[in-house]
Chains A and B, each alone.
Chain A
Amino acid sequence: MTTIKKFKISLANDMDKEEKWLTEMSAKGYQFFKYRWFFYYFEENHSKAYIYQTDFQSADDEYFELYNQAGWEHVHTEMESFHYFRAPADVIGDKRIYSDPASVKAMYQRLLTFYSIIFFGMVVAQAGLLLNWEPTFFSILSLTFVTAVILLYIYLFIKLMQKINKYRSQVY
């Protein structure tokens, strides 16, 4: 069986785009089965077409059992909380892992909380850099890097909040 890998950077706010991409790859005969350091691993199999779904949740046994019974095969888990599932497109039809906008909104809220905690942890850890500021080459390099990461997080927060608002407006 042929395995291929593809490099792709996908931020947490684009989980819907990512699962769409994995589903499209599956239709072309490339079945996602593993993720590692920005590489997506696919198995070549043209006889299958899956719908892929990604969830963010602190999971337990009951969680995986529930998804399994509902027809979703667990494929991969990243950072203990990002779970990739798939189901044969012809069996699952138009069912997805969430059936109302309120629960999709709740998932994006969990993501926002998760990244906020990491962000504040990182800011606290790097505060020493500014407090003991000395304009050495290393300090400037670190500051540039930290600033880039902070900007990336701000971008992520804005995008996540947009997602939350989008799904909030659908809850009535």
Chain B
Amino acid sequence: MQPLSESTYLVLLALAKESLHGYGIIKKIEEYSGGEIVLAPGTLYGVLTNLQKQKLIELVTAEKESRQKKIYRLSEEGHHSFLQEYARIKKMLTISDDILKGEEKA
């Protein structure tokens, strides 16, 4: 699997534990990053469109027919992609820490 773009990863991350509408995703990432990461609306709209096409996210059924805000959640496949990417990033961090701490490989 190709590494996800940072913006795509952030959207999956925001949806990992709860369903959100578009702006809710921006807010959540902004809050958790202490205001440092603010996804722009055009970027988010593109990511949401792509993720829906790839069936990694889906609309929460109850909201689909109403004219209410669209609420998104991860599909099963989306959850899987997120976990895979999360593991990849974690591994990169572990490797980085090892190298920076100068641990020699036997």
Binding site for B on A (CB under 8 A): 55, 57, 61-63, 65-67, 69-70, 72, 95-100, 102-103, 106-107, 171
CB-based contact A102/B5 at 8 Å? yes
Binding site for A on B (CB under 8 A): 5-7, 22-23, 26, 38-47, 67, 69-70
Q: What is the bound-complex CA distance between A106 and B53, given in angstroms?
A: 15
Q: Which residues of A contact B5 (CB under 8 A)?
A: 100, 102, 171
Residue of B nearest to A69 (CB): B23
A136 to chain B, nearest CB (A): 49
CB-based contact B23/A103 at 8 Å? no
Q: Which residues of A contact B44 (CB under 8 A)?
A: 66
Residue of B nearest to A105 (CB): B46
Interface of B is mostly: helix
CB-based contact B42/A57 at 8 Å? yes
A66-B22, A70-B26 known; A100 vs B41 contact (CB < 8 Å): no
CB-based contact B7/A66 at 8 Å? no
Residue of A nearest to B22 (CB): A66
A62-B69, A66-B23, A102-B7 known; A95 vs B43 contact (CB < 8 Å): no
CB-based contact A99/B45 at 8 Å? no
6 contacts between A and B (CB under 8 A): A62-B45, A98-B42, A100-B5, A100-B6, A100-B7, A106-B46
A96-B40, A97-B40 known; A62 vs B7 contact (CB < 8 Å): no
Q: What is the bound-complex CA distance between A70 and B29, given in angstroms?
A: 13
Q: What is the bound-complex CA distance between A151 and B44, given in angstroms?
A: 36
Q: What is the bound-complex CA distance between A131 and B39, given in angstroms?
A: 53
A62-B69, A65-B69 known; A97 vs B22 contact (CB < 8 Å): no
Q: Which residues of A contact B23 (CB under 8 A)?
A: 65-66, 69-70
Q: What is the bound-complex CA distance between A50 and B67, given in angstroms?
A: 31
Residue of B nearest to A96 (CB): B40
Q: Which residues of A contact B70 (CB under 8 A)?
A: 62
Q: Which residues of B contact A70 (CB under 8 A)?
A: 23, 26, 40-41
- Return the contact of A72 from the options B38, B41, B69 (Cβ within 8 A): B41
Q: Which residues of A contact B6 (CB under 8 A)?
A: 100
